[in-house]
Amino acid sequence: MLDEREAFLRTIFSDPTNDLPRLVYADWLDENRSPELAGLIRVQCEIAARPAGEVAPELLAREAEWLRLQPPSETSDPILRPVRGFLEQPMIVLGADDLRDRDSLRMRAVVEHPEWYGATKLTISQGKITTPFAIETIFEMSAFANVVDLNLDGDLEFLSPSEITFSDFRYEPRISLPILEVLFQHRWARRLTKLSLENNDLDNDALRAIVRSPNLLRIEQLEIFQGNRFRGATWQQLIERFGEKVMS
């Protein structure tokens, strides 16, 4: 059943403006004992198909009833109300530890966060990525298939609340050079349009790895200057590879 459900989600978010896959999914949900979500998808698709200002009050009443039957986490924040059956959430936020168990993460995506299948940005906000398996998870999980913006910024930790000097903070890197090299060599890195690597205490070897990468072909924005240690001609090579606009 998990495979079927994921297949529906992949189809829905591969063509997000098309309501037909959503309505087919609603039929499947009815057959698999999820009538609440099925009903919400149908009524919200019907509302979306009406011209603005021409939605009948009874449709809105039905929508309110189906929303009331959804899990509280789905509707407690009005900003996060579902649209045509699903939350609109362009960004996924995970910790590095979440990437270690791919099966558990897949179950979480399908059952709890189907909106991840439409997200375009992934931020790893806690912990350190230490194995190539995590990079494979980022690029090869179906839930992340639409991600083109990858944020791997490290943390900047202030050590003293007093007047700030250079010695009053330290970097907590999210990723190291060996794992970065795996990322740069992965074929799915070709889909990235934005990559953030600030505050990782990287040196010129990381810049050289970026310059050599055959897969960073679509990068439109590369955030790497802050919180890293670059010097001399290597930085110029990076600008020559990607252009000043990408680096700004």
Angle between helices 204-212 and 233-242 (to 10 degrees): 30
Q: What is the mean pLDDT of each run of 10 residues along the chain (248 residues)?
A: 95 96 97 94 95 87 91 59 90 96 96 95 96 96 97 84 62 95 96 96 94 95 92 87 84
pLDDT in tens, 78-125: 557 899 999 988 899 999 999 999 999 999 999 999 999 999 999 999
Helix (H) or strand (E) holding 175: none
Alpha-carbon distance of 227 to 208, in angstroms, equals: 17
**Tokens for 177?**
């050079």
Pairing of strands 121-126, 169-172: unpaired
- Give the count of alpha carbons within 13 A of 162, CB side only: 5
Q: Which amino acid is at 32?
A: N
**Tokens for 42?**
């149908």
Predicted local distance difference test score (pLDDT) of residue 187: 95
Check: CB of residue 45 under 8 Å from CB of residue 24.
no
- Give the count of alpha carbons within 13 A of 229, CB side only: 8
- Which domains, and CATH codes, for the chain? 2-80 (no CATH), 91-247 (3.80.10)
Predicted local distance difference test score (pLDDT) of residue 202: 94
Give the predicted TM-score (pTM) of the model: 0.90
Predicted local distance difference test score (pLDDT) of residue 234: 87
Residues ≥6 apart with Cβ < 8 Å to 102: 133, 137, 141
Predicted local distance difference test score (pLDDT) of residue 75: 44
Predicted local distance difference test score (pLDDT) of residue 74: 47
